[in-house]
Amino acid sequence: MQDSSILNTFIAMMDRIGLNYEFLATGYEATIWRDGFITTLYLIALLIPVSLVAGLVFAACLTSGRPFLSAPVRGFVEITRNTPTLVQLMFSFLVLNTFVSNLVGGAQNNPLTPFFWVVAVVGLHIAALHAEAMRAGIEAVPSSMVEAARGMGFSQWQILRHVELPLAFRASLPAIVNNLINLVKLTTVGNAIAVSEITYASIMVWTQRDNVVSLMIVILVFFSAINIVVARLGIWVERKLAVPGYGL
Amino acid sequence: MTATTMTSGPKKQHLTRSLAFVALPLVILIWALTDLSLGRTLVEWIPYLASGFMMNILISLLAMTFGTVIGAIFGILELAPYRLVRYPVVAYVQIFRNAPHLVLIFATTYIFPFEIVIAGNYLPFPDWVKAVIGLAIPASAYVAEITRGAIQSIPTTQWEAAQGLGFSRWQALRYIILPQCVRRSLPPWMNLFSSITMATALASLVGVHELLHAATDASTAVRRIDFTIIAYIVVMAAFFALCYPISRLTRRLERRFNAA
Amino acid sequence: MMLRKKLALSVLGLAISISGMTATSAFADATLDRIKGRGALTVGVILSGAPFGYIDPKSQSEKGYNLDIAKALADNLGVKLETVTVTPPNRVQFLQQGKVDILIANMQYTDERAKILDYVPTPYDRSGGAAVVRKDSGLKDWSDLKGKPVCVSQGSNFTQPLIEQYGAVVKALPSQPESLLALQGGNCVAAVHVGATVGLLMQDRADEWKDYAIPFPTELVPSDSVIWLRKGEKDTQTALDNAVKTLHADGKLLEFAKANRLLNTTYLEEEHKALSASK
């Protein structure tokens, strides 16, 4: 009861300055919109670890020196970096998905949802960018350090695990945080394949009501807030991991 | 490690690179040839698709031009010694660097009017121009950051040396600092160019007649599933053909600057 | 110069620039005067496929039932026709902004829409939604869609009844080809679109769609397809209403419908009889 009166006051106040949030007081549109925020946050929370893990795997393949590992990954990295993510998403969802359906013997057996495809396409796209950053980081590790480790009897894997990766991760952290900010922004392409994130939810509302401005302000503030948090966390991790004297 | 790849790799790398370049067109060609009716339909639609792609190129060039000019000014203003100048610019850069391109395109398309009145004359304000603005805004925020970073990367001793030679603050910026900045910021600028070019595809979602939109129109008219699929591959191939050379060039420049 | 100014506005805060901008569309009132003054009628049309609207690859021009009506209306007003392609997610904005004078864009009458827009009272067609489903899905009627994923176009007027009346989980895609591809990929059990469009598609491309059918006995929310215009434009409304009535009476609409192969012309025939009799 009290809840709805606060809401109504808010709607009336906003109406006075020319913003239309009437839909908040009505049925399914308000639910769609609220779920839109939750879906966007959920997508981001899922995509950050997915992109980091896949990026690490890609980086390991790229620097492995084995062509059967590095060539396919390089090919994927080039395609994903040089074609629009929106088109990749449409292609995956409409074409690859149909292909998968045929493979598993009919659409009814296909467990892949639009949500899955957004996570896959955006996650792997950002992973490719992470991998490029990490590769640069690994290549920037002074060869004297690698040689010192080898001299101490470290195996190739141990060098990667204990020497190259920790240093490379620190060196590539600013680029990785930048990629994560892009990741947050990229989640909006999901609206093209009906993943009910916040822009999709907003389109559903504004096509019936013509209140683009009111919704847009909230969306811009929302994304700025998320990205400020991501950037702050990045700085915090950077400080936490700083190696004194190494200049990173 | 880098030394070994440099000596053993070039020929093989060159081969994979050119393979990557023709792979998508090759898929299209083979498919179109195996199903001639599909191939004929595709050929029929190529001019329409091409006119769409011209729009992508136009939007990205204009957005980058405006973005670069405004961004470079804002980048310098971000380092201005006056808070009153610095704070609003920093706020602009922070907000629009963090905003999704798609949301900005939605915002400019639906918020700006369709025509502007200048001295009693009605000037049309078409959608593609709104898309240009929608992409120029984030581009300018990025260019501002690139410029600021480049200026800050120049050691302060150079400023002092310039001062010692009798240059004013502005002259030092103009003749000593900026030329170096341009060189340093070229690779990230080109990355941005490529990313803005790809973002032009988002304009299809607001109805701008660009490549992806043209492909959808074509698919709607042809009503063949295999055509819809090949149309998407054509779209990917077109963007790849444009962006891949840019990214190769960027990497070459990066390597040269790092070596220098 | 102009662009710089726009940018400066955005810096100051989108909110402020916005309220100033939207105000300009408010006094684009006497649309009829403007149409006559400019000598052109700007119509928002939707290219959702044959029979209503599509691109002809040879001439690269738009064709279809909606386009024929737009042309006839422009002729009736004695002006030339300009068309703007709209999509379901942007058509209302384009009309509100004044980018188009009227919409002939597969938009049926709904009470919700009538709150924000005005419409020409005489409809040019009557249509409802048809659901394309797999033949082996076992779906027999709209109520079977409860809790199941259903694909539509973004901005479709079938969204609300599907959710509120039948409890379906609606997935809205940017346009019809994507929605149909999503159906074939198994991302939804049914794709709901304007009956005539999908009906003709199933007929023309029977081979590709042999596993699919339109099995439900009724159409979803069958309602009048009307021409939409901005609120309060009474003079334009009257002029267009007379024009549509004439098109019904002299059998032009029926002719357009046959030329574009509309599957069900019962409504148009009735209206033709009624209006030509009253003349």
C127-223 fold? D-Maltodextrin-Binding Protein; domain 2 (3.40.190)
Is C97 in contact with B114 (Cβ distance < 8 A)?
yes
Hey, CA dihedral for B29, B30, B35, B36, is it positive or negative?
positive
Neighbours of chain A (3+ CB pairs under 8 A): B, C
Least confident of A203-217, B66-80, B206-220, C254-268: A203-217
d(CA C38, CA A208): 30
Testing the interface with B: which of A82, A178, A203 to mutate, by most B Cβ within 10 A?
Answer: A82
pLDDT at residue number B68:
96
Token code pair at residue A192: 């093209």
pLDDT at residue number C127:
86
In sequence order, the 6+-apart residues with CB closer than 8 A to the CB of A132 are: A77, A81
**Phi then psi dihedrals of residue C133, to 5 deg:** -135, 165
CATH number of the domain where residue B195 is located = 1.10.3720.10
What CATH number has the domain spanning A24-241? 1.10.3720.10
Regarding predicted confidence, which is higher, B61 or A110? B61
Element (H, E) at A14: helix A2-16
According to DSSP, the residues that pair with C119 across neighbouring strands are C228
Is B99 in contact with A224 (Cβ distance < 8 A)?
yes
Task: Place B2 in a pLDDT band, splitting at 50, 70 and 90.
Answer: very low
| Domain limits, chain C | 10-124+226-278, 127-223
CB pairs under 8 A between A and B: 110
Interface contact C89, partner A, CB < 8 A: yes
Interface contact B212, partner A, CB < 8 A: yes
Is A18 in contact with C174 (Cβ distance < 8 A)?
no
| Domain limits, chain A | 24-241
**For the purposes of burial, counting CB atoms within 10 Å of the CB of A195, is it exposed (0-12), middle (13-18) or buried (19 or more)?**
buried
d(CA C149, CA A234): 39
The predicted model scores a pTM of 0.82
List chain B residues with CB under 8 Å of C10: 96, 137
**How do residues C71-108 score in pLDDT, each as one tens digit?**
999 999 899 999 988 887 788 888 887 889 999 988 88
Is-contact C149 C162, C-beta < 8 A?
no
Token code pair at residue C120: 């020409």
Is B98 in contact with A191 (Cβ distance < 8 A)?
no
**Phi then psi dihedrals of residue B123, to 5 deg:** -105, 130
Q: Which of B91, B70, B77, B54 is nearest to B133 (CA)?
A: B70
Q: Please give the share of chain C, as a percent, with pLDDT higher than 90.
A: 35
Measured CA to CA in angstroms, residue C272 lies from A98, A193, C123, C255, C267 at distances of 45, 42, 12, 11, 9
Residues of chain A with pLDDT below 70 are: 1-3, 107-108, 245-248
pLDDT at residue number C66:
93
Longest distance between any two alpha carbons in chain B, whole Å: 75
**Phi then psi dihedrals of residue C88, to 5 deg:** -50, -40
Token code pair at residue A160: 């990667």
Measured CA to CA in angstroms, residue C157 lies from B171, C84, C110 at distances of 63, 21, 8
User: 3-state class of C104 per DSSP?
Assistant: strand
B33 occurs within a structural domain: yes
Q: Of B45, B116, B137, which has the smallest distance from its Cβ to C57's Cβ?
A: B45
Domain that holds residue B214: 14-259
**Phi then psi dihedrals of residue B118, to 5 deg:** -120, 115
List chain A residues with CB under 8 Å of B111: 212-213, 216
B195 occurs within a structural domain: yes
Hey, CA dihedral for B105, B108, B109, B115, is it positive or negative?
negative
> Taking 70 as the threshold, does the pLDDT of residue B227 lie above it?
yes
Query: Concatenated DSSP letters for B7-54?
Result: HH-HHHHHHHHHHHHHHHHHHHHHHHHHSHHHHHHHHHHHHHHHHHHH
Residue A153 CA, distance from chain mean position: 39
Testing the interface with A: which of C18, C94, C187 to mutate, by most A Cβ within 10 A?
Answer: C187
> Taking 80 as the threshold, does the pLDDT of residue B134 lie above it?
yes
Q: Which of residues 214-233 of A touch B (CB under 8 A)?
A: 216, 219-220, 223-224, 227-228
E strand spans, chain C: 40-46, 54-56, 61-63, 80-86, 102-104, 117-119, 125-134, 149-153, 169-173, 190-194, 212-213, 220-225, 228-230
Residue B217 CA, distance from chain mean position: 25
d(CA A181, CA A173): 12
Is B216 in contact with C178 (Cβ distance < 8 A)?
yes
> Taking 50 as the threshold, does the pLDDT of residue C11 lie above it?
no
SS3 content of chain A, % helix, strand, coil (to 5): 85, 0, 15
Across B13-27, average pLDDT: 70
Asked if residue C51 has a cis previous peptide bond (ω within 30° of 0), the answer is yes
Q: Which of residues 173-192 of A touch C (CB under 8 A)?
A: 192
Q: How many other β-carbons are positioned within 10 Å of the β-carbon of residue A94?
A: 26
Give the Cα-Cα-Cα angle A164, A168, A173 (nearest 5 degrees): 160
Neighbours of chain B (3+ CB pairs under 8 A): A, C
Is C3 in contact with B137 (Cβ distance < 8 A)?
no
**How do residues C191-215 score in pLDDT, each as one tens digit?**
999 888 899 989 888 888 998 999 9
Task: Place B172 in a pLDDT band, splitting at 50, 70 and 90.
Answer: confident
Is-contact B233 B24, C-beta < 8 A?
yes
In sequence order, the 6+-apart residues with CB closer than 8 A to the CB of A163 are: A141, A145, A146, A149, A154
List chain B residues with CB under 8 Å of C49: 220-221, 223
DSSP H stretches of helix in B112-224: 127-153, 156-164, 169-172, 178-199, 211-222
- Kindly indicate whether the ipTM for this predicted assembly is greater than 0.85, answering yes or no: no
Considering the domain C10-124+226-278, what is its CATH architecture? 3-Layer(aba) Sandwich (3.40)
Interface contact B102, partner A, CB < 8 A: yes
In sequence order, the 6+-apart residues with CB closer than 8 A to the CB of B58 are: B128
Is C96 in contact with A210 (Cβ distance < 8 A)?
yes
Q: How many domains does chain B have?
A: 1
Regarding predicted confidence, which is higher, C126 or C279? C126
pLDDT at residue number B14:
64
pLDDT at residue number C18:
42
d(CA A248, CA A171): 6
List chain A residues with CB under 8 Å of C164: 27-28
Q: Which of residues 140-159 of B touch C (CB under 8 A)?
A: 140
> Taking 80 as the threshold, does the pLDDT of residue B22 lie above it?
no
Is B239 in contact with A223 (Cβ distance < 8 A)?
no
**How do residues C108-142 score in pLDDT, each as one tens digit?**
888 878 888 999 999 999 889 999 999 988 899 99
Query: Concatenated DSSP letters for B193-249?
Result: HHHHHHHGGGGGGGT--SHHHHHHHHHHHH--HHHHHHHHHHHHHHHHHHHHHHHHH
